Amino acid sequence: MKYTEKQHAKNLINMLENSRSVEFQCPAAYRRTYDTCSICRNFISLSPLVKLCPCYALKCKKAIKRTWLALEEKGYLD
């Protein structure tokens, strides 16, 4: 099964609503990871040159804020 933006959004919402700590968790893999996929980078408009997880590249609070804003802008929180 191909990992899609829709699945990514669903995983993000689940992580943000149900996890005590979402820092450094990969929504695609549900594990700690330093690398990130193109869907994650594109979702929050992170440069394709950045290969790190947004939590490492942006610091967690900023990454989570950008993620939440992207979920709202893309209509996944309706």
Contact assessment for residue 77 and residue 71, using Cβ atoms and an 8 Å cutoff: yes
Which tens digits make up the pLDDT trace of 11-65? 888 888 876 666 656 676 655 555 667 788 888 998 888 888 787 888 878 888 9
Is 53 domain-assigned?
yes
Which residue reads 């919402």 in tokens? 13
Which tens digits make up the pLDDT trace of 18-32? 766 666 566 766 555
Confidence of residue 70 (pLDDT cuts 50, 70, 90): very high
Is 78 domain-assigned?
no
Is 63 domain-assigned?
yes
How far is Cα 54 from Cα 18, in angstroms, rounded to an integer? Answer: 19
Is 52 domain-assigned?
yes
How far is Cα 19 from Cα 64, in angstroms, rounded to an integer? Answer: 13
Residue 55 confidence (pLDDT): 78
Residue 51 confidence (pLDDT): 81
